[in-house]
Structure 1
Amino acid sequence: MTVTATTVQGGLATLTDEIISELRDRVGCPVLAPEDPGFDAIREVYNAMHPGEPALVVSCSGTADVIDAVRFARDNGLVVSVRGGGHSIAGLSASDNALLIDLAPMHAVQVDRAARVARVQGGAVWGDVDRETQAFGLATPGGVVSDTGVAGLTLGGGYGWLRRQHGLACDHLVSAEVVGADGRVRTASENENADLLWALRGGGGNFGVVTWFTFALEEIGPTVAFVGTFYPVAEAAQVIRGWRDYVNVAPNEVTATCLTITLPADPELPEAVHDQACVVIGGVYAGDAERGMDILQPLRELGTPLMDMSQPMPFTAVQSGFDAFFPRNTMQAYWKSRYLSELSDAAVDFVAAKAAERPSPMTLVNVFHMGGAIADVPVGATAFAQRSSPFLLSIDGNWTDPADNDRNIAWVRDTFAESARFGNDGVYLNFTGSAEEPAESGVDSAFGANLRRLAEVKAKYDPTNVFRANNNITPASG
């Protein structure tokens, strides 16, 4: 058996049985070729548009396997792709003909209650983290979907339900174990390779494979106040205006998001929302649950509710409450995002109009409220640079039939382009288009003044750009 793999020079290499056997002899985990049993059972990606067809999969069981996989790829000049959670919208963890380093088996979470930290392996998803930390009433800021990978979300910044009170996932990263392009293992912390830790806090997967993350923990839950109110899309302008006016004066304990979606005729949902285009207001109060329900009450009174799921609930339930909107490998997905310096009445009307004309029921037009603890961190303190804008507009195209790709992608692109008149404060790289599109403008926009320093760190730890299947930063020269 032979397989064909892409080389870093852009050509193709034939990997013979002998070469593949060499890799299998090096590692202590399965090495799977397309013809092998189990190849199709590796962790699925979220975006069915980018399933990926790797040449070989190294299904790593620990750091030693990652070291050997990286060294093998380096020795043979192969392109490397790394899959943690596999939720990359742009398909960055699904490169064709690459050597795929699959971290899915590496999903351990270790909580140190006394030190208030959690050590998390690179293949964990946020549900793994929440389950272990919430056993002790602790949490670290994660995402809003429990199936999202810890690695991708953290390295790209990381917005979640705690963002205004406690900031981003990357802000709580206190150290990391990293396998570099040279196959060496380094610890990145404030006291050791501090420049690498700075870069990992929002700079993406450019600097190596993170095999262990260590996060600072906060006291959260186990029960929190949650608002989940569904309004008819016909009332979108009124609801979004009311939501905007509320969040503009809300305390930092409140994190709230507005999204639009059409719910299916699911027998587990009330008939009032079957096949109904809805504006969903979601909000969490990071503090006392009873007090939080009182503070969140105005979000339940913005219009005529079709369904109201608001109640004190376990934080783990909040974290998984939106999972059904994002099933793995089911939908084609193409997203674009833009930060806004304000949410004017004209911008609200624009969002409401686009909510009414979405080309697919599962397409979302979202507005996230930012600020609070996010903005308290100086721009240069982490690689993640966009901290000042109070709102993020995200146009999340999701549909099922590949035959509809062109129409849906065009709608997202057009909507994104039109939205520029309401502000152009940069993009969020975790919510961007496709790996097939040039990343330079997005990288420039996202990192701003931090890009030069990131390029220098890249040159130090990955001078030949081994880790390029990402929102890539070109190593600085000279």
Structure 2
Amino acid sequence: MNKTAIEALDTALGGHLIRPDDPQYDRARQVWNGMIDRRPALIARCRGTADVLAAVRFAREHGLPISVRGGGHNVAGTAVGDDAMAIDLSPMRGVVVDADKRLARVQGGALLEDVDRETQVHGLATPMGVVSQTGVAGLCLSGGLGWLRRRYGLTCDNLVRAEVVTGSGEVVYASESENPELLWGLRGGGGNFGVVTTFEFQLHPVGPEVFFTFVAYPAEERKKCYQAYRDFTAKTCDEVSTLVTSMTVPDAPDFPVLEARGKPAIAFLGAYAGAPAEGEEALRPLRTVSEPLFDFSGTMRWTDIQSMLDPGFPQGNLYYWKGRTVTEEALSDEAIERLLEHAAARPSPLTTLVLWHMGGAVARVAEHETAFGGRKAAYLLAAESVWTDHTDDEPNIAWARNAVTDFARYSCGGFYLNYPGFLENQNEITRATFGSKYERLQALKRTWDPDNMFRFNANIPPA
């Protein structure tokens, strides 16, 4: 790269080109996970599709691989790559709602809170994640689990159209009628095929108030709670999307239940996608397992539910998350004993061991209909290591790896690529996750990114 070419790109951008000697550089390359410390060659902070197009064409001309930042929330830090062109979409957070058609057009840098804020004006929502600061793009492209999943599916299931800048420097559209194979790949195949500058999502009637359960029991009741959750998930309706988590109650001044602070616990969290009164009844069994440490359940605003967990996942903490899809046997008596062992061995009070209940609308989509792998899973096991001191890196990473490896005996064969660790053993993980669809994804990659310019992701090399 020569100085003249870089200056020409800077002039062409409506946004801003950040170079390593720029005072903003160190701040601009930071992402949510404090474990990530990478140095892109250039950071193109884009204001729109034209900026993305210019940055991709520059990267292609100068042989730079491309990383893409939506919300910067991916645990593996895929938003930034060493010596790459980092395309930063964070200024592109616009959301436009067509309430009559129940559609939302969402720019590639939008966060969950941006979507919920605009859609809830109309009493609508689309399935998203559970932390409002998560980026829509990364969440959607690798699946998207949230409080509406069993009723309305994954985030990627609700993607109906996308605007994409490809590695060849073209703007194309993906929908059921335009490049449908590309739409298939965007529904769970990760960021392998280009920069998605605009997503269009199907919306559903949700809220503005929803019944939500957040109830915790002492750690001594974990076995009883896991058994109760096994019984509950075996017969609950599709309107109910829940998880069970072994955790430590926050030892924080603003936590309202003083006597519970700092205690190990097990908690149920979940939402009912329907009338709040019906939700209260449907979720009641989770609130009566034993004497709770606390019960914050009640009818709440949807936007409050979506931001409830934000304080537990601040930017700059150290994160290592792994997720594996598992069968019903993950709550067998034998498996519960293993869950108890891993929960007790958590090396950090910020760490959680989570089982997400799957099924419902997620399972009603046939495996071949989208790139997302793991439709038939009963649960998703997520080992979410969170800590704050780099001297504790090794035990926290090892704990998460051990827990997920141990549950391979109950595996459906794949992993959840929004909980990818650091994408170590990447080829093994992606092949296991996509299974028989892997070759189809390789062919799609060959069509849209034959030079593998977009390789900072759960990468699928072109066939």
TM-score (norm 1): 0.94
Per the alignment, residue 250 of structure 1 pairs with 236
Select which of 379, 396, 403 maps to 2:384.
396
Deviation string, structure 1 residues 334-355 (Cα, Å, up to 9, x no partner) = 1222111112121122112211
* 1:162-241 superposed matches below 5 A: 162-241=148-227
Per the alignment, residue 109 of structure 1 pairs with 95
1:43 and 1:86 in contact (8 A); partners too: no
Tell me the CA shift for residue 98 of structure 1: 1.5
Per the alignment, residue 309 of structure 2 pairs with 322
Tell me the CA shift for residue 41 of structure 1: 4.0
Tell me the CA shift for residue 43 of structure 1: 7.5
Unaligned 5+ runs, structure 1:
1-14
Whether 1:296 aligns to 2:283 is yes
Unaligned 5+ runs, structure 2:
none
Q: Aligned-residue CA RMSD in angstroms?
A: 1.3
Tell me the CA shift for residue 37 of structure 1: 3.2
Provide the secondary structure at the position in 2 that maps to 1:49: coil
Per the alignment, residue 450 of structure 1 pairs with 437
1:234 and 1:356 in contact (8 A); partners too: no
Tell me the CA shift for residue 264 of structure 1: 3.1
Whether 1:276 aligns to 2:276 is no
Per the alignment, residue 384 of structure 1 pairs with 372
Provide the secondary structure at the position in 1 that maps to 2:122: coil
Provide the secondary structure at the position in 2 that maps to 1:428: strand
Deviation string, structure 1 residues 420-441 (Cα, Å, up to 9, x no partner) = 2333532111111104x23111
Q: Which amino acid aligns with 2:441?
A: L
Which is worse superposed, 26-35 or 149-158? 26-35
**Distance in 1 between residues matched to 2:250 and 2:165, nearest whole Å:** 44
1:263 and 1:274 in contact (8 A); partners too: yes
Provide the secondary structure at the position in 1 that maps to 2:154: coil
Whether 1:470 aligns to 2:442 is no
**Distance in 2 between residues matched to 1:35 and 1:44, nearest whole Å:** 15
Select which of 47, 55, 65 maps to 2:51.
65
| Matched length | 460
**Distance in 1 between residues matched to 2:222 and 2:349, nearest whole Å:** 16
Tell me the CA shift for residue 44 of structure 1: 4.2
Deviation string, structure 1 residues 282-301 (Cα, Å, up to 9, x no partner) = 01000001111111111111
Per the alignment, residue 5 of structure 2 pairs with 19
Provide the secondary structure at the position in 2 that maps to 1:393: strand
Select which of 224, 239, 245 maps to 1:259.
245
TM-score (norm 2): 0.97
2:29 and 2:80 in contact (8 A); partners too: no
* Percentage of identical aligned residues: 47
**Distance in 1 between residues matched to 2:217 and 2:341, nearest whole Å:** 15
**Distance in 2 between residues matched to 1:169 and 1:95, nearest whole Å:** 26
**Distance in 1 between residues matched to 2:159 and 2:408, nearest whole Å:** 32
Provide the secondary structure at the position in 2 that maps to 1:23: helix
Deviation string, structure 1 residues 52-77 (Cα, Å, up to 9, x no partner) = 22221111000000000000000000
**Distance in 1 between residues matched to 2:207 and 2:185, nearest whole Å:** 31
Tell me the CA shift for residue 260 of structure 1: 1.9
**Distance in 2 between residues matched to 1:26 and 1:75, nearest whole Å:** 15
Per the alignment, residue 356 of structure 1 pairs with 344
2:64 and 2:83 in contact (8 A); partners too: no
Select which of 340, 344, 369 maps to 2:326.
340
Moved over 4 A (4+): none
**Distance in 2 between residues matched to 1:339 and 1:101, nearest whole Å:** 31
Deviation string, structure 1 residues 267-308 (Cα, Å, up to 9, x no partner) = 221112211112110010000011111111111112221111
Per the alignment, residue 15 of structure 2 pairs with 29
Which is worse superposed, 235-244 or 150-159? 235-244
Select which of 279, 290, 295 maps to 1:308.
295
Whether 1:153 aligns to 2:151 is no
Q: Which amino acid aligns with 2:379?
A: F
1:44 and 1:328 in contact (8 A); partners too: no
Tell me the CA shift for residue 197 of structure 1: 0.6
* 1:382-461 superposed matches below 5 A: 382-435=370-423, 437-461=424-448
1:341 and 1:425 in contact (8 A); partners too: no
Deviation string, structure 1 residues 377-419 (Cα, Å, up to 9, x no partner) = 1111111131001111111111111111112212222222222
**Distance in 2 between residues matched to 1:266 and 1:205, nearest whole Å:** 37
